Amino acid sequence: MRNPKIVFVGAGSVVFTQGLLADLLAYPELRSINLVLHDIDPERLEVAEAVALRIAEAQGARPRVSSTLERRAALEGADFVINMIQVGGHASTVTDFEIPARYGLRQTIADTIGVGGVFRALRTFPVLDALAEDIAAVCPDALLLNYTNPMAMNVWYLSSRVRNVVGLCHSVHWTMRGLAELVGVPYEEVTYQAAGVNHQAWVLRFERQGENLYDRLDARVDADPELRRRVRVEMYRRLGHYPTETSEHSAEYVPWLLRHGGEIDRLRIPVGEYLRVSEENVREYERTRDAVRHGAELEIAGTDEYAPQIIHSMVTGAPRVVYGNVVNDGLISNLPAGCVVEVPCVVDGTGVRPTRAGALPPQCAALNRAYVSVGELTVRAAREGRPEHVRHAVMVDPNASATLSLDDIWRMCDELTLAHGELLPEALRVTLAT
């Protein structure tokens, strides 16, 4: 595959676009790619194209760069499609936090499960329908690389519509880098295996040359009281396997923490954290826009994301292992068939091949099954046009069910339904509380 066509959908996420491009163009074999940027926001798209050209020049690359507001035109003949849309933007994120907060429900990130994850998925599904239709029409053999959250729900929803789709997240990679640093071992010398679901996978093996590095981690945790004030360390101590997502994320996937003010203080849980992140993302975009307009220097830094690695391997045949979110076709034996799991994948010139992880430790699988149930009901709500399943999804969510009464869950879902309005699938725009 020479000079592949790569399409960024949601390229107006300028900072993320910037990092992916720096990674892509760092490979000599990819410096002449055909890059097409698509977004529905003209200003953001203009900034993204300017940034792409600046990065290419700085890295001595000569890609063919174009941009368009028309998604199907962008996708025509694509080899790779990278999806990074955020439907509703910052305003919808604020809604996902503020309405539940009025009911006493605390959230930290609200993009994976929980009521925030459910409604983020429901806003995204109609756009995924349109994207899948366009891919089927003009690039049916393209590999769709999804970065949009909620990862597991979105890939699950797409799996019945798109022939080739893999969800990508950096959580395993950066967790392992952090653990290597924590135990004082160079990352390049660590071997590991993780598996589970996105944002709640588990480090099953953590070694260096046959040494079990969990022993070193135990010693560090025992010696440092401040380490024990992290949610993921607390989960590791109780469950025996380290979770592959940050404490901020992990806190809202379980029933034991956010309902208790004392636990929030003890484990330093930053309630409402993603509101601050989202606001900073807007400011960072504005800084990049202003820098482009005034000819100021841009910071260009790679991100070690998986999408450029996958594209490089498929173009060159160079084998490597990445972590992907894929349909569970016997990959994890004690999680439901058909759900989306995160496992190691081998990539080379033939494509992306998930590997089998077998059975997770039972306590880890039990937590994952609660997570999977929220996703299953959300996907079913949209596929089957059943608004009651939206409420069922929130009813079985660990954090919401530990905090709210059934009446409050249904009333809260009604409020969110009215607030998000036409962004939701048409069949789900109804209120059900009595």
Query: pLDDT digits over 399-426, tens only?
Result: 999 999 999 999 999 999 999 999 999 9
Q: Do the Cβ atoms of 197 and 266 come closer than 8 Å?
A: no
Q: What is the per-residue pLDDT across 144-166, written as a single tens digit (0 to 9) for each? A: 999 999 999 999 999 999 999 99
- Which one from 170, 249, 392, 420 is the annotated catalytic residue? 170
> Average pLDDT, stretch 309-317?
98
52 CB contacts (<8 Å, ≥6 apart)?
17, 21, 35, 37, 63, 65
Pairing of strands 200-208, 191-197: antiparallel
| Longest Cα separation, the chain | 63
Structure tokens at 407: 């009446």
Q: What is the per-residue pLDDT across 200-231, written as a single tens digit (0 to 9) for each? A: 999 999 999 999 999 999 999 999 999 999 99
Helices (H), 139-190: 151-158, 171-183
Domains of the chain as residue ranges with CATH? 5-87+111-171+295-316 (3.40.50.720)
Phi, psi (deg, nearest 5) at residue 70 = -100, 110
Q: How far apart are alpha carbons 112 and 118 in whole angstroms?
A: 8
The answer to whether the predicted template modeling score (pTM) of the entire model surpasses 0.85 is: yes
Residue 69's nearest CA partner among 39, 35, 36, 48 is 39
Candidate from 170-184, 259-273, 288-302 with smallest mean pLDDT:
288-302
Structure tokens at 350: 């033939």
Model confidence at 434: pLDDT above 90: no
Q: How far apart are alpha carbons 357 and 307 in whole angstroms?
A: 22
Q: How far apart are alpha carbons 397 and 205 in whole angstroms?
A: 29
> Average pLDDT, stretch 258-263?
98
Residue 329's nearest CA partner among 339, 320, 318, 319 is 339
Model confidence at 59: pLDDT above 80: yes
Is 90 one of the catalytic residues?
Answer: no
Scored b (16 or more CB within 10 A) or e, 385-399 reads eebebbbbbbbbbbb
Taking only Cα atoms into account, the Rg of the chain, rounded to an integer number of angstroms, comes to 21
Structure tokens at 316: 């060159």
> Average pLDDT, stretch 352-356?
98
Which residue is listed with tokens 């849309």?
85
Which residue is listed with tokens 């790679």?
302
